[in-house]
């Protein structure tokens, strides 16, 4: 055992070795002495010229061997010999965003509901490399999408939100915020954002307590208001160390998500499979047989 495995990343290139070998056999079998001159020149004349040193009856095959050898090495290099390394660490982002959306009838049946979804899409577009998650709530809270880096899936789920997704009537934002705090803790997110999309129903002391809990975990709570924000919005944002946005502040909301991102990386508990392509180094070996072409007396 040598402590590592070698594999070929592009093995199909080795198929070209067979026609190369056939070509080499054909050329070398036809190349002998003076080649076709032996068929058109009188043998006695050739022997006489050889005695006088005018011709070399034993022409060297080294250049052909060198060329064929170099081509064979090049094909091996193109096949991509690689070392498997399992000591390369992968990293995950410790900064994520949770979108918490009120899907109760008072919100989804409002004429401004499509504009609220648009705000969510702007927020998703600003995530960049940050993972995101989605929580929906009415009379109770549910995880619609766990923390993920697949923003396309997250956007598709966001577009399908409706009041039919939750079986409980009412609006309990404190339960949704408690679930958000738990989700951040489970995902080990230490610098996240929680964005609450709401019309303000249900905001009170219980939800304010959860806003303080989110801030204590190192995250921020911001709110997107379906209607004109009430005083409760500013209070929750202040306690949660976030901001309040209205439906006409799409750009400001996206900038808040993007520019205030606090990206932090941490090594994963498991290593990332990594292949180191050695083809470029093998390619250098092809120069060795080519040097024979410059050796005196090989022509």
The CATH number of the structural domain formed by 95-263 is 3.40.50.410
- Split at pLDDT 50, 70, 90, the class of 290 is confident
| Cβ-Cβ contacts under 8 Å for 24 (sequence gap 6 or more) | 64, 68
Q: 202-222 pLDDT, tens per residue?
A: 999 999 999 999 999 888 999
pLDDT band at 267 (very low <50, low <70, confident <90, very high): very low
Residues of each domain in the chain carrying CATH 3.40.50.410: 95-263
Strand bridging mode 6-8 / 81-93: antiparallel
Q: Is the pTM of this model over 0.85?
A: no
Burial of 283 (C-beta count, 10 Å sphere; 0-12/13-18/19+) = middle
Provide the CA 228 distance to its chain's centre, in angstroms.
41
Cα Rg of the chain, angstroms: 36
Cα–Cα distance measured from residue 17 to residue 4, given in angstroms and rounded to the nearest whole number:
26
The DSSP bridge partners found for residue 136 are 101, 142
């Amino acid at each position: 055992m040598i402590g590592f495995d070698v594999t070929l990343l592009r093995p199909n290139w080795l198929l070209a070795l067979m026609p190369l070998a056939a070509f080499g056999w054909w050329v070398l079998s036809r190349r002998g002495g003076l080649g076709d001159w032996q068929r058109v020149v009188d043998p006695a004349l050739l022997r006489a010229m050889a005695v006088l040193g005018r011709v070399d009856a034993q022409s060297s095959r080294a250049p052909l061997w060198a060329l064929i050898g170099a081509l064979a090495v090049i094909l091996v290099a193109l096949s991509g010999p690689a070392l498997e390394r399992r000591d390369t660490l992968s990293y995950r982002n410790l900064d994520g965003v949770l979108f918490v959306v009120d899907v109760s009838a008072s919100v989804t049946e409002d004429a401004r509901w499509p504009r609220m979804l648009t705000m969510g899409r702007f927020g998703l577009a600003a995530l960049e490399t940050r993972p995101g998650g989605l929580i929906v709530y009415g009379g109770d809270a549910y995880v619609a999408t766990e923390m993920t880096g697949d923003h396309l899936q997250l956007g598709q789920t966001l577009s399908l939100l409706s009041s039919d997704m939750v079986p409980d009537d009412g609006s309990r934002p404190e339960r949704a915020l408690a679930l958000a705090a738990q989700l951040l803790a489970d995902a080990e997110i230490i610098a996240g954002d929680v964005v609450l999309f709401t019309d303000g129903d249900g905001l009170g002391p219980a939800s304010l307590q959860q806003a303080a809990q989110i801030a204590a975990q190192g995250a921020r709570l911001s709110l997107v208001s379906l209607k004109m924000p009430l005083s409760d919005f500013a209070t929750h944002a202040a306690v949660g160390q976030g901001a309040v946005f209205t439906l006409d502040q799409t750009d400001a909301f996206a900038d808040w998500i993007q520019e205030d991102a606090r990206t932090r990386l941490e090594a994963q508990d498991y290593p990332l499979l990594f292949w180191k392509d050695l083809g470029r180094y093998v390619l250098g070996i092809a120069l060795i047989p080519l040097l024979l072409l410059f050796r005196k007396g090989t022509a």
